Structure 1
Amino acid sequence: MDKFKFEKLNIWQKAMDFGEVIDRLALKFPEREKFNLASQICRASDSIALNISEGSIGQSNPEQRKFMGYSIRSLAEVVTCLFKAKRRKYIDEVKFVELYNEAFHLMNMMSAFKKNIK
């Protein structure tokens, strides 16, 4: 399709994939977390791609940088939720490290993209 500019962005595609991984992970959290940590981590992970797309549509460069900043903040929120999930024993160390590294890679990509917005 690629009718919208953001669809071509590698960071948007990676953010979309990361959001789906996080969504599947949250489904495994205990029922008592359904409206707490599971909801929070899903909303934060969805917000990453949502802000990338919102910032890419007809915005000025300062606006685009602002929305990239929101995306990076949402990613930091996801990472904090991952730490919470690990502490509560909802995920093991191996899964935590895998997702932490994926988040770190995505953050570096988004930071570089933000820096290159003229």
Structure 2
Amino acid sequence: MNNDINKLEIYREAMRIGEHVWNVVITSDYYAKATVGKQFVKATDSIAANIAEGYGRYHYKENMQFCHYARGSAEETQTWIKKSANRGLMEKEAARQLYRDLDTRKKRLNAYIKTIGKPTTPKRTTTTPTSDP
């Protein structure tokens, strides 16, 4: 198994979205940061954190489980996007774009989950020698 998580595209994308949300929240006023902002950042950062934790686990089933947590965090993040737009903390168009971007990332995460535990190369089959009659 390759131990460099930075080569995993879904992880890099989750990190990028986390930084984007941080930059949105950090410009908000204190009350917005202390209420919506904290939860928004935690949910978004949790996407990459769960992908990383799963990646570092020994067994593929644990990796899948943490990727499912990441998918849940992506759903939560989309809720915070809606709330932020509704409360005027994000421009509506920027919120729509981020929401769509996250939809794409969720699809990619689902595709990644489907590959976990699958062999990357076909298994070699061994044949048992047969005895002559």
Q: What is the TM-score normalised by the length of structure 2? A: 0.82
Aligned to 2:63: 64
Which runs of 4 or more aligned residues in structure 1 lie more than 3 Å from their structure 2 counterparts after TM superposition?
Answer: none
AA of the residue aligned to 1:95: A
Identity in percent: 27
Count of matched residue positions in the alignment of Structure 1 and Structure 2: 116
Q: How does 1:31-110 map to 2 (within 5 A)?
A: 31-110=30-109
Q: What is the TM-score normalised by the length of structure 1? A: 0.91
More helix by share: 1
Q: CA RMSD in A?
A: 1.4
Aligned to 2:113: 114
- In our comparison, the structure showing a higher alpha carbon Rg is 2
Could you tell me which runs of 5 or more consecutive residues in structure 1 were left unpaired when the two chains were aligned: none
Shift of 1:12: 0.4
Shift of 1:96: 1.0
Equivalent residues of 1:5, 1:56 under 8 A apart: no
Equivalent residues of 2:32, 2:89 under 8 A apart: no
Structure 2 CA distance for aligned equivalents of residues 98 and 65 of structure 1:
28
Could you tell me which runs of 5 or more consecutive residues in structure 2 were left unpaired when the two chains were aligned: 118-133
Equivalent residues of 1:12, 1:52 under 8 A apart: yes
Greater relative CO, 1 or 2 (CA 8 Å, sep 6+): 1
Structure 1 CA distance for aligned equivalents of residues 87 and 57 of structure 2:
42
Aligned to 1:8: 7
More moved, 82-91 vs 25-34: 25-34
Residues 21-54 of structure 1, C-alpha deviations (whole Å, 9 max, x = no match): 0100112333212221100011111111111111
